[in-house]
Structure formats: structure tokens, C-alpha cells
Amino acid sequence: MIDLNRQVTQWLEAGIISPEQADLMKAGDVQSPGEGSSDDGGGRIPVIAEMLGYVGAVLAIWAVLFLVSEFWEKLTDWSQAGLFGVLASALFFAGGVMLTHEEPALQRLSSVLSAGSVVALGGALFMVFDPILGLSVEATWTLIGAVAAVVAWLLLWRQTMPAQQIILFASMLTAILSFMSLVADPAFYVYGLVVWVVGVTWIAVARAGRLAPLRTAVVLGAITMLYGAQLIVVDGDAGTFGIILGLATAALFAVAGVSLRDRLTIVLGAIGIFWFVPQAMFHFFGEAFGGMLALFVSGLAIIALAIWFARHREAL
């Protein structure tokens, strides 16, 4: 029999349910997701409404984009900014309406619509800061990232869902990198190092209980750390350091995943190994026979590790 408390905790970390719903489930007052009555279809109707909401939003946005493209160039800058503002308001309002429903499916739809409102707000701010006020590209994106981060943080505080955290993370990273370019424009590898540090910080804050959902934070942080290491690799002067940092990051996630018995962390480590090991082989050995042999041996080692995981999957 599945441990209910453990399952509810996983749903909460994944952003499928709210903290209030988790408390009710643990108390036995509500059904878990997917356990709706087969008589009234209660478990299916919210999911259908969610899918219809996604489809409707996509169709409406594409229709607006097509219609607006016909006369976009004829609009003034303020009119263009106003259209983005209207779209942001509409998405925010729709997300707020869906937020009043307790069904997880409609909660997810609400989070996506609210996150979309932040993107539309960014479009409106871009029209104001760039063509209207004539700010530089760096200043424009710094301000857009900062404002969007504040709004996204408020939305995440209101509704703890993955979409809000993703928008918050993207906005903060945009503001940080744009501000660096605005005030200093450092060497390219510095950007990569900062990106890597942001990823570490994001996971650390989530692990400390200051950011949720936790699993969303781990995925965002891990991908950002690996991407930051790759940015350093691109900079030829610091390529060796970037490869070493990437390998160390991948190994860290692999070991942590095994220690914590967390499949997601193991997968993130495997992705990093898959990405950086070939680069390391070619970087240190070139395309000579030694490089190919080292790559072949590394492949066999990874296969052996996969077999070990398969045989010990019950322990994980």
C-alpha cells in the first residue's frame, strides 16, 4: 500500500496541489488527484477544462498575433505597449478567476495564465523602455527583468506552482546578467560563472525551505549550473576550467542522487555526464586514437553504472 503522506508530499513538491490541499489530504478529508468518483466524472471534468483552457488560450493568442501583424507597423509605440498591457491584464484576470477553484487541474491552468501575464507585461515594458524612452538594450532588459521578478515573486507568494517559479527565475537571471553587461561588461567566462552561482544559490534557498516547489527549484538550478559551466567552456581562455566545473557538477548531482535515493537528481547528473564527458575527452586528448579509446571506456563505465542502478533499483 502506498504511503499516503509520502505521496502527498511528492504532489506538493511537484506543485500539483496546494499546501492547504495537502493538509486536508493527510487528514483524510479529500480525495487524492485522480480518485474522483467514476459516477459523476468529477476527476475528469477539471482536467478537460484545463486542456480546453490551454487550447483556447493558444488559439486566442495566435489569432491576436495574426490580426495585429496586419496593422502593427501602423500603430504608435504607445498603442503597441497598450496592446501588450491589455493582454497582460486579460491573462492575469483569467488566472485569478481559475485560482478560485480548488481542483488541481484548474490551479495549474491558473498558474500558466498568470505566468503568461508576466511575459505580456514584459512586452509592454519593452515598448515603453526601448522605442519610447530610448533606453539602451542593457538598461531595458535590466528594468524588465527587475519589474517582472517582483511581479513573479508576488504571484509565487500567492500561488506556489512551478510556472510562477520558472518565470521568477528567468526574470531574476535576466536582470542580473543585463545589469552586469550594463555596468561592467566583463569577460564571457564571468557570465558563465555567475550563472553557475545563481543555480547553486537557487537550489540552496529551496533546500532551506525558502522556495517552493522544491523539485522545480532543483531542476532549474541543476540545468543552470550545467549551462553556466558550458558558457565557460565556450570561452576559449577558460575552457579547461569550464569542463572541469561541468564534470564536477555532474558528478555532484549523480552522487547526491544516489545518496538521497532521488531518481530526478540522478537523471540530472547523468545528463551532465553525457554532455561533458565527450567534451572532456576531445579537449584533453583531441581526435586521436587515445581520445576515442577514452571515450569508449567512459561509455562502458556509464553502461556499467546503469546496470548497477537497475539491479539496485529497489534500494533507490
Nine cell digits for residue 280? 572532456
Give the pLDDT of the chain (316 residues) as one tens digit per residue: 345 666 667 666 666 666 666 666 655 544 444 444 444 444 555 667 667 766 776 776 677 677 677 787 788 889 889 988 998 998 899 888 888 777 777 788 888 889 999 999 999 999 999 999 999 999 999 999 999 999 999 999 888 889 999 999 999 999 999 999 999 878 889 999 999 999 999 999 999 989 988 999 999 999 999 999 999 998 777 888 999 999 999 989 988 887 777 888 888 888 888 888 878 877 777 665 565 666 666 666 666 666 666 666 555 5
Q: How many CA atoms lie within 13 A of 3 on its CB side?
A: 4
- This model's pTM is above 0.85: no
- For 58-82, give the DSSP string: HHHHHHHHHHHHHHGGGS-HHHHHH
Q: How far apart are CA 171 and CA 145, in angstroms?
A: 4
pLDDT at res. 315 = 52
Cβ burial of 67 (10 Å; 0-12, 13-18, 19+) is exposed
